[in-house]
Amino acid sequence: MKKIIRTIIWCLVGLFVIYTFYFLWKQSQPEPEVYELVLPQKRDIQKTTVATGKLSARREVSVKPQITGVITKVLVKPGDRVTAGQEVAHIRVIPDMSQLNSAQTAIESARIELNEQQREWDRTKRLYEKGVISTEEYQQYETRLKAAREKLTAAEAAYEVVTKGASRRSGTINTTIVTSPMSGIVLNVPVKEGSSVSATSMFSDGTTICTVADMSDVLFKGHIDETEVARLRVGMETTLVLGAMQEVKVPATLEYISPEGVEQNGVTKFEVWAAASIPDGVDIRSGYSVNARVVTEEHKGVLSIDEASVVFDADSAFVYRLTSSPEDLSSQEWERIPVKVGISNGIYVEILQGVNAEDHLRGIKK
């Protein structure tokens, strides 16, 4: 009986050892590689390039005063809509001492000259009435008197402009009232009441009171890499994707490509402009960050596959075609075949030669 029990135990030990070796051998065997199957399909393939930049108004002006002074009233704020000629600020004149002295000196000189011409004319008139001088000579003195009076009037008007910002001779012109030269939206107002402002002159750009832009005519201004610029042409249709509103797609037309590149961070880039057609109901703000997507080439209804299925080796392209049954996933067999590819959009690539729509091709590994 004991002999039978020992035999059974040794048999069980033997079976356990055999099973252990089998299990270890099984674990050491590589699992079969299974790949997804890809079928070529007809698609529309677009080759695109992207330029980055910002939106800005085509017409944008900085409103500046014609005189130096202090802001007494600001009549607009950023975001306000203004019309051409609308008042945006009032200024109190602070006369420049050199200009004031020059204006006072001009008045005194003109008054002295007028008094002198008046005496000459009075004397000439008495002689003319006695018939001593001719009519022609008398008219010459009369003309000089009129010129002297006009000179004094002009000097007094210049003094009023220096001290008050306007003169009675200028009529409706008042340089203490700053108006907008165009209709549009106020983008910014960098001054406030009490701020000192300077007039525009040949020595100074003057102080900006506000910036007005016509946001009904918007331009995209951006830059594109030198490797892409050769594929662009003026008149190409462009799609603008706004960083602040990703769901909004704004159509635009490329209208300018810079003939000269500029270096940015070691890369040469070219400036491009595109005229945007803002859809109704979309509120565009100046300075929005934008990606401009330009379709440089498009093929419609062409045979294509996932670009991940194509293997590139030097200047050649290859795919792996399934030679075994599509239903048998445990032992997939492939053959490597060369293909000729066309354009790619980064996801799908056009297949010109090498495969057809019925071929099962190797995709990504599961």
Q: What pLDDT shows up at residue 28?
A: 61
Q: What pLDDT shows up at residue 280?
A: 83
Residue ranges of the domains in the chain?
A: 35-45+300-365, 49-57+215-298, 66-211
Higher-confidence position of 35 and 160: 35
CATH class of 35-45+300-365: mainly beta
Are residues 92 and 72 in contact, defined by beta-carbon separation less than 8 angstroms? yes
Q: Is the pLDDT of residue 171 over 70?
A: no
Of residues 241, 248, 245, 244, the one with CA closest to residue 222 = 241
Q: What pLDDT shows up at residue 52?
A: 92
- Give whole-number Cα distances, 214 to 170, 184, 186, in Å: 30, 4, 9
Q: Is the pLDDT of residue 170 over 60?
A: no
Cα dihedral sign for 256, 260, 261, 263? negative
Q: What pLDDT shows up at residue 29?
A: 54
The counts of H helices and E strands in the chain are 4, 20
Q: What pLDDT shows up at residue 202?
A: 76
Region 266-287 average pLDDT? 89
pLDDT digits (tens, 9 = 90+) for 304-319: 999 989 999 888 999 9
pLDDT digits (tens, 9 = 90+) for 81-105: 999 999 999 988 776 667 767 877 8
Confidence grade of residue 172 (pLDDT, cut at 50, 70, 90): very low
Structural tokens at position 193: 């009441």
Of residues 170, 183, 175, the one with CA closest to residue 85 = 183
Q: Is the pLDDT of residue 341 over 50?
A: yes
Are residues 231 and 49 in contact, defined by beta-carbon separation less than 8 angstroms? yes
Q: Is the pLDDT of residue 119 over 70?
A: yes
- Give whole-number Cα distances, 308 to 319, 325, 365, in Å: 10, 22, 11
pLDDT digits (tens, 9 = 90+) for 27-81: 665 666 788 888 999 999 988 899 999 999 999 999 998 888 889 999 999 999 9
Region 208-231 average pLDDT? 92
The conformation of residue 30, written as its DSSP 8-state character, comes to P
Region 148-152 average pLDDT? 85
The per-residue b/e assignment along 245-268, b for 16 or more CB within 10 angstroms, e otherwise, is: eeeeebebebeebeeebeeeeeee
Are residues 78 and 189 in contact, defined by beta-carbon separation less than 8 angstroms? yes
Task: Give me the CATH code for the 49-57+215-298 domain, please.
Answer: 2.40.30.170
Task: Give me the CATH code for the 66-211 domain, please.
Answer: 2.40.50.100
Q: Is the pLDDT of residue 158 over 80?
A: no
pLDDT averaged over every residue in the chain: 85
Q: Is the pLDDT of residue 167 over 80?
A: no
Please report which residue ranges of 165-295 form alpha helices under DSSP H. Answer: 226-229
Are residues 239 and 298 in contact, defined by beta-carbon separation less than 8 angstroms? no
Q: Is the pLDDT of residue 164 over 70?
A: no
Q: Is the pLDDT of residue 174 over 60?
A: no
Are residues 182 and 61 in contact, defined by beta-carbon separation less than 8 angstroms? yes
Q: What pLDDT shows up at residue 81?
A: 93
CA–centroid distance for 7 within its chain: 91
Q: Roughly how many angstroms between the first and final C-alpha of the chain, as a whole number?
A: 57
State what percent of residues in the chain have pLDDT above 90. Answer: 38
